[in-house]
Amino acid sequence: IARDDESHHALEITSMMRRLLQPVWVLLAVIFLIEAWLWEHFVALGRVLVSYLPYEKLKSWVAGKISALPPPAVVPIFILPILVILPFKLFGLWLIGHHHHFILGGLVFLAAKMAGLAVTAFLYDLTKDKLMMMAWFRFVAAKAAAIKAWAHDLVAPYKAALRVRIAALKSYFPQARGSFVALVLRVRKQISRARS
């Protein structure tokens, strides 16, 4: 009987720990999915922006140089965005810490983060074939895909509940289709086309 009580007590503790950790796991899953969403959209946005650049020779030169590199030599390329963006991030933190310019510092930091992500995503788009030639990178990519699937499964019930609430809120407000909304929709459509 004592062993049954101990095992029952252990199950209760395990169940309680799962309930306590559930919000933490959901938060981590949401952060991961936001990063993955930003990554996918920045790759697509990078394709759109590069298509508007008039530097066809420069683009083909960069692609040619990357294709000439052996796969392991492609990895250090990803240090470049970090080195270029880091001073801007530090400047944003300096504005917040020393001058209490929370909004300006936050905007500088956020702009640097987004620019770094855009450049990294663009470089990844150019180097993906080379990176996939390395077994360790294929392993990491497969693990990232598995984590993304896990995060989607974990967050799915919360997303469904949120959609229901948003639908209820939309019924209270008329749908506005101003020029800004039309612009956002056009940009989104271009990015969607570039992703496919």
Cα separation, 137 vs 74, in Å, equals 12
Q: Regarding predicted confidence, which is higher, 159 or 142?
A: 142
Cα separation, 179 vs 66, in Å, equals 41
Q: Which two tokens stand for residue 162?
A: 């949120």
pLDDT 10s digits, 59-88:
677 778 888 888 888 888 888 888 888 888
Tokens 């650049």, residue? 53
User: Which pLDDT band holds residue 187 (cuts at 50, 70, 90)?
Assistant: confident
The mean pLDDT of 3-11, rounded to a whole number, is: 66
* DSSP three-state, residue 1: coil
DSSP conformation letters of 118-161: HHHHHHHHHHHHHHTTSHHHHHHHHHHHHHHHHHHHHHHHHHHH
pTM: 0.57
